[in-house]
Amino acid sequence: MPIHCHTCICTKVEENRQFGPDPKFIIITINRNKFEIGTKHPLYRLRHAIMSRCYNAKASEYNSYQGKGITVYKEWIENPYVFYEWCLNNGWEKGLQLDRIDNNGNYEPGNCQFLTISENSRKAFIDNPIPRNLKLSHADVLKIGDLLNNNISISTIAKDYNVCRTTIRNVKHGKYRPRGKV
């Protein structure tokens, strides 16, 4: 498939170009609509994010993906054009999220779909109805206050108590009401 050359100022079209892991600029035409996908395009960032979480051991989400054996479809790895084309032909619009239909499955054409943020959140709740973050007790809030006073980072405390950083910030600013007796 032809794409415009991204290595020079000219607009010549390269045929049978060998795709690198992440070309900086690709032009795709689908149904007479022209899409210019560069490093700031949401699809470029999406591909980068899924590649990172599956193959970059330093990525924060790596253990939740590659650690569980989740991989990316071989053609999407080798040829970004194929990934972008699949996205554009399968309902991608700005603001939608790529969702794996089977959360234990790989990133591949038969297991991916695009959802709104609210649809994806609803699906996550249905897939895992047990809340991950338990409410903090009054004793927990007091301990967290002590940790904050000792300059322990919000991220560290949130991980230790299995709550989000916003919960810890709310404790810090006195906006969190603990369960149980005061």
DSSP letter string, 125-160: HHH--S-SSPPPBHHHHHHHHHHHHTT--HHHHHHH
Q: What is the pLDDT of residue 128?
A: 55
pLDDT at 23 over 60: no
Domain boundaries, the chain: 3-127, 131-182
Per-residue pLDDT band at 178 (split at 50, 70, 90): low
Of 49, 42, 48, whose CA–CA distance to 23 is shortest?
Answer: 48
Q: Poorest-confidence range of 11-25, 70-84, 152-166?
A: 11-25
Of 32, 24, 33, whose CA–CA distance to 4 is shortest?
Answer: 24
Question: Rounded mean pLDDT of 143-157?
Answer: 89
Residue with tokens 């689908």: 30
Mean of the per-residue pLDDT values of the chain: 78
Q: What is the pLDDT of residue 60?
A: 86
Q: Mind giving me the DSSP string for 33-55?
A: EEEEEETTSHHHHHHHHHHHHHH
φ/ψ of 81, rounded to 5, equals -55, -45
Task: Assign a CATH topology to domain 131-182.
Answer: Arc Repressor Mutant, subunit A (1.10.10)
CB 179 within 8 A of CB 139: no
Render pLDDT for 39-84 as a digit per residue (tens, 0 to 9): 888 999 999 999 999 998 888 888 888 888 999 999 999 988 899 9
Indicate if the alpha-carbon torsion angle 141, 142, 145, 147 is positive or negative. negative
